[in-house]
Amino acid sequence: MIILWLLVGLQIAAGAVVLVRLARGRDRGRPLQAGPAARAGSISIVIPARDEALRIGPLLEALARTGPSVREIIVVDDRSKDGTRAIVKGFAATDQRIRLVKGAKRAKGWVGKQHALQQGLALAAAPWTLCLDADARPDPALPDALLAAAETRGYDALTAGPRFAVDTVGETILHPALLATLVYRFGPPTIAPVKSVRTVANGQCLLVPTTRFRLAGGWEPVAANMTEDVALARHLVRSGWNLGLVDAAPLLVVDMHASAGEAWREWGRSLALPGVASGTEQVLDVITLTLTMALPIPLVIAALWMGSPLLAIPSVILLAVRLVFHAALRPTYADPGRAYWLAPLADPLAVVRVAWSALRPNRSWRGRTYARSG
């Protein structure tokens, strides 16, 4: 009984922290929508590519339909061994804006993605550079909408949250639970520029001012980090940049994984922010997630079994909050089906994945294994 009282007390404290974070959603603002076209030639698009033959075609097809605001589309091929180069060359033959760049030999201390992005940044000629991953499926209006948001809201740089495509029942159940662990830890994006270094970002879609970002070193400060997007976001905030986090779900879909197993392996690789978050931050995050996501149902059962229904109240409240949040998260997924509503049952598994990511960080990606930084 003493242990139960202790757990419930800790749960109340953790729940209060999570509720404060979730309450920031009141200042989220509306998701990005298509709007007026930006100035002609104002955006360069850079795409890092390594073995992306199964993903890059739909991206280039979408970008080929963008307006004159997109000056160039630079694909930096990072020594691909599949048909990536041939696919890009095919698109380049029909759209002179698309350019295939053979990536240089990776410099020591650099992760491949950042190395490719840095090369693309050096070649970008437009005032703004939009970095997109090969699994992105943007609406042709996305570049203009991102630039409008940056200019009207005073962002120095901004990163955008997408709508996720889930391909299997298993991924439909697991992915939202994994995503919920991020929102429970960092809260939803708001209109105001990020002021705290305790933030996240989405490296699949990042808009930066070309010259200023280049002068600031580009990706060099986070060259060795496997979680380069969050590392870069925190670096920019520390450097005084006004970083924006926007919801671009109506204009951007990403298809990250083909199955629940792939989501578990690949997204879980960065879920605990290894190499970015301190050990203390990771421990506190795992404890908070355990108390608010993994334990509510077991604590309700334990409280009722021990004849102390009052002790179940905090867990019941947390379960209600979780279900409301899950319903609010539904527009973040593209046609997930009925299995989506089972995702909260995967919460304990998602918390285990965060803890495992912290204890055993994975530094392998696309056939390469990178040495630990520092």
pLDDT band at 196 (very low <50, low <70, confident <90, very high): confident
Beta strands, E only, the chain:
43-49, 70-77, 98-102, 128-132, 136-138, 157-161, 163-165, 205-209, 243-247, 252-254, 333-334, 364-365, 368-369
User: CATH assignment of 38-169+189-267?
Assistant: 3.90.550.10
Whether residue 39 has pLDDT greater than 50: yes
Confidence at 257, pLDDT banded by 50, 70, 90: confident
The answer to which of 48-57, 97-106, 142-151, 267-276 has the lowest mean pLDDT is 267-276
The values of phi and psi at residue 369, to 5°, are -120, 125
pLDDT-derived band of residue 374, with 50, 70 and 90 as boundaries? very low
In this prediction, residue 27 carries a pLDDT of: 84
Q: Is 1 exposed, middle or buried (0-12, 13-18, 19+ CB in 10 A)?
A: exposed
DSSP output for 64-131: TT--TTEEEEEEEE-S-SSSHHHHHHHHHTT-TTEEEEEPPPPPTT--HHHHHHHHHHHH--SSEEEE
Average of per-residue pLDDT across 155-183: 96
Question: pLDDT tens digits, residue range 311-360?
Answer: 999 999 999 999 999 999 999 999 899 999 999 999 999 999 999 999 98
Of 154-163, 172-181, 195-204, 359-368, which gets the smallest average pLDDT? 359-368
User: Is it the case that residue 104 has pLDDT exceeding 50?
Assistant: yes
Domain(s) labelled CATH 3.90.550.10 in the chain stretch across 38-169+189-267
The model's pTM is: 0.92
pLDDT tens-digit readout, 107-134: 888 999 999 999 999 999 999 999 999 9
| Average pLDDT over all residues of the chain | 93
- pLDDT value at residue 373: 55
Confidence of residue 42 (pLDDT cuts 50, 70, 90): very high
Lowest mean pLDDT among 42-51, 258-267, 278-287: 258-267
Region 22-36: what's the mean pLDDT?
Answer: 89
Rounded Cα gap, residues 294 and 206, in angstroms: 32
Query: Are the beta carbons of 128 and 207 closer than 8 angstroms?
Result: yes
Measured CA to CA, the distance from residue 82 to residue 77 in angstroms comes to 11
pLDDT digit string, tens, across residues 136-163: 999 999 999 999 999 999 999 999 999 9
**Edge-to-edge strands, sheet with 243-247:** 98-102, 70-77, 43-49, 128-132, 205-209, 157-161, 243-247
